[in-house]
Structures are given as C-alpha cells and as structure tokens.
C-alpha cells in the first residue's frame, strides 16, 4: 500500500498583478511615444497659386449686385425690376464678368417660387458666385 504524501499543501497559488500592470503601462507609453501620425495636409487637395508675377493690386474689385425678393416685388440695387428685366440685366453682367458676386436677400413673406426663378436666371447667365440670405 502506498504511503500518503506528507508534503504540505502550498495553498492556492497567488498571481502577482502589480508587475503585470506595470508592464502593460510601459507598453502603452512605448506605443504612444513611438506612434507617428500621418501628415494630413499632405493628402489634402489644395490649389496653390502658380509661380510667376504677382497679381496687379490696382485692379478694382467687382461691385456686388444685391437682389432683394419681397412678396410680389423684386429690387435690384435699390431699383424695382421685373423678372424679365432682371434676366436681361444678368445676361449683360455675365458678358462683362462671370465672377460677378450676386447677393440674393429674401424677405420672410416672399414666395419660394420667386427665389427659384432668380436662381434659374443666374444659372442661365452662367453666374455661379451667389450668396442667398434672408431678412429678419
């Protein structure tokens, strides 16, 4: 018959957590410090001016055309106009400069259809530098 073992039971083995936590934090700090972030500006589609002569600074900037839309009325630069007159004026402006700035201001009670018609006239004339806002 075999003799029973007289070894003492060491009890449950206890795993030390403090050194493991230290190693994890050291690895975390190592990866944060060695991380190289990509240069975001290198991937942006930026149009830089071409090298050459500087632009002429004496050129007067184009004046802004303001079109106000009220309920049943159109006002262009403080003059009452009809939708047909506005179309012909915008065509003439487009012949002079396609980069003309046009600010369209709508009253609260103006009809949405009138704004759409003014935007269509600007599109037909080829004017794309538009700003639309509303009056209080």
Query: What pLDDT digit, counting tens, does each position of 29-46 carry?
Result: 999 999 988 777 777 777
d(CA 81, CA 128) in angstroms, rounded, equals: 21
pTM: 0.54
Q: Residue 105 corresponds to which tokens in the numbers above?
A: 């201001």
What's the mean pLDDT in 51-72? 76
Q: At what angle do helices 83-96 and 112-125 cross, to 10 degrees?
A: 30
Give 26's pLDDT tier (boundaries 50, 70, 90): very high
Pull the structure tokens for residue 125: 């004339």
φ and ψ of 111, to 5 deg: -80, 140
Q: What is the pLDDT of residue 40?
A: 74
What whole-number distance in Å separates Cα of residue 69 and Cα of residue 81? 10
Out of 47-56, 86-95, 101-110, 111-120, pick the least confident. 47-56
Q: What is the pLDDT of residues 81-100, one digit of tens each?
A: 999 999 999 999 888 888 88
Give the separation between CA 80 and CA 43, rounded to whole angstroms: 49
CA distances in angstroms from 106 to 87, 88, 96, 130, listed in the order given: 18, 21, 26, 13
What 3-state DSSP class applies to 78?
coil
Q: Which two tokens stand for residue 33?
A: 């410090």
For the record, the structure tokens of 18 come out as 């403090």
Q: Which domains are present in the chain?
A: 65-134 (3.30.420.270)
How far is it, in rounded angstroms, from Cα 122 to Cα 126? 6
């Amino acid at each position: 018959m075999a003799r029973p073992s007289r070894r003492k039971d060491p009890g449950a083995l206890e795993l030390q957590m403090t050194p493991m936590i230290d190693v994890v934090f050291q690895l975390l700090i190592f990866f944060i410090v060695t991380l190289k972030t990509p240069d975001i500006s290198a991937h942006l589609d930026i149009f830089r001016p071409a090298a050459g002569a500087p632009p002429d600074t004496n050129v007067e900037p184009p004046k802004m055309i303001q079109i106000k839309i009220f309920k049943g009325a159109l006002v262009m630069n403080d003059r009452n106009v009809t939708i047909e007159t506005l179309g012909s004026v915008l065509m003439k402006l487009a012949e002079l400069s396609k980069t003309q700035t046009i600010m369209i201001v709508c009253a609260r009670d103006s009809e949405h259809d009138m704004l759409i018609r003014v935007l269509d006239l600007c599109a037909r004339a080829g004017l794309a530098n538009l700003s639309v806002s509303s009056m209080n």
